[in-house]
Structure 1
Amino acid sequence: MQKSILIFLVFVTSNTLLSQSIKDLDFLIGSWNIEETILPGTDRAYQEIGTRNCEYYLNGQFIRCESETTIQKTGRKRYYSYIINYDDKEGCFRATNFAHDFPLHGQFKWFLDKENERIIAITPKNVIEDRFFRATISYADRDKLVWNGWASVFEKDKDWIQIFNDVATRTE
C-alpha cells in the first residue's frame, strides 16, 4: 500500500512539474514594434513594419495578439491576429491566426522548448492551400522575439523555403 501511494505521488509530482499552462507564454504579453521580412533572401522580398499587442483574453485562458502592419513597397495596411490557448489533451499550445486579407485560418501546434527558450510551431495539416508550415519563436531575449517561418509543399519535404523573419521589440 505504501509503495502504491509513493508511486502515485511521484507520478502526480512529475506530471505537475511537466504540465504547462497559458501563463508559460507570459513573455508574449505587452506591446511590440515589429519588422517582418516576407520571403527573405529572394528577389520577391518585402518588409512590413508595424505594431503587435498581446494580452490575456477570455478570463485569462487565452492570449490574443493583434497586429497592424504597413507593407513598405505599397503603403497598404494589414491586420492579423493570433488566439492562443493550452490544450491539456494534446500537451501543446494551440494558435489560430486570422488575417483580414487572407480567407484561410491558420491552425498551429506550438511546443514550448524551455531549455532553448523557443517555441516550435507546426501545422497539423496543410495550412496555405497545399503548403505545410513550420516556425520557431526565440524568446531568449524577453524584450526581442524573433520569429522565423518556413513552408514546404510536402510535410516531409527536404526543401523548406523561408517565408518570413519577424523581429518584435518590446515597447512596454
Structure 2
Amino acid sequence: MQKSLFLLLSILIAHTSFSQSIKDLNFLIGDWKVVETIYPGTEKEYQEIGKRTCEYYLNGSFIKCESLTVDQRNLRERSYAYIINYHKKEDVFLVTSLAHDFPLHGKHKWFLDKENKRINAISPKNVIEDRFFRATISYANEKKLVWNGWSSKFLNDKEWVQIFNDVTTKTD
C-alpha cells in the first residue's frame, strides 16, 4: 500500500513539475519600449514607436498587455491589447488581441518552446477574412523580446509575407 501511494505521489509530482502555467510567461511582465516595423523590407514599410505594459490580470489567471504606439508617418496613436491565459487541457496559451482601430478580435494559440526560448504563435482560424497568421516571439534575451509576424492569403497565393517586426526593450 505504501509503495503504491509513493508511486502515485511521485507520478503526480513529476506531472505537476512539467506542466505549464501562466507563470511561464512571467518574462512578459513589466514596462517595455516598443519599436514595431510594419511590412519590413517592402515599399509599404513604416514604424510605430511606443510603450507596452504587461501585468497579471484577473487574480493572476491571465496576463494583459496593453500597448500605445505612434505611427511615425502621421503621428497617429494606436492602442491595442493582448489578453493571455493558459489552457491546461489543450496545453497551450490562448491569446485574444484587440485594437481600437481594427474591428476584429484576433484569436491565437501560443506554444512555448522553452528549449529555444521562443513562443510560436498561430491563428487557428483566419484573422482577417481570407488571411492566416503566424508569429514567433524570441525571449532568448528576456530584456529584449523580438516578435516577428507573417500572414498568408490562403486561397490566393499561399505565400507567407512578413507583416511586422516588433522589438521591445524592458524599461523597468
Q: TM-score per shorter chain, which class?
A: over 0.9
| CA deviation vs aligned residue, 1:51-92 (integer Å, no higher than 9, x gap) | 000000101111000000000011110000000010011101
Q: Are 2:99 and 1:99 equivalent residues in the alignment?
A: yes
Q: Which moved more, 1:70-79 or 1:3-12?
A: 3-12
Matches within 5 A, 1:1-172: 8-9=8-9, 11-154=11-154, 159-172=159-172
* 1:18 positional shift: 2.1
Given the two structures, how large is their TM-score scaled by the length of structure 2? 0.93
Amino acid at match of 2:63: I
Between the aligned partners of 1:6 and 1:39, the Cα distance in structure 2 is: 56
Give the letter for the 2:117 counterpart: E
Report how far residue 7 of structure 1 moved: 5.8
Q: Distance in 2 between matches of 1:3 and 1:124?
A: 44
Indicate the SS of the match to 2:97.
strand
Matched residue of 1:12: which SS?
helix
User: 1:23 offset after TM fit, Å?
Assistant: 0.5
Give 1:110's aligned amino acid: W
Structure 1 segments unaligned to the other structure (5+ residues)? none
Query: Residue 13 of structure 1 aligns to a residue in which SS?
Result: helix
Structure 2: 5+ residue stretches without partners: none
Per-residue CA distance 1:101-157 (angstroms, 9 max, x = gap): 0000000111110000011111111111111100000011010000000111229x7
User: Which SS does the other structure have where 1:35 is aligned?
Assistant: strand
3-state SS of 1:137 partner: strand
> How far, CA to CA, are the matches of 2:125 and 2:60 in structure 1?
28
- Following superposition, the deviation at residue 8 of structure 1 comes to 3.8
Distance in 1 of aligned mates of 2:16 and 2:103? 39
Which digits, 9 at most, give the CA deviation of each residue in 1:18-46, with x for residues without a partner? 21111100000000000000000100011
Give the match's secondary structure for 1:25: helix
TM-score w.r.t. structure 1 length? 0.93
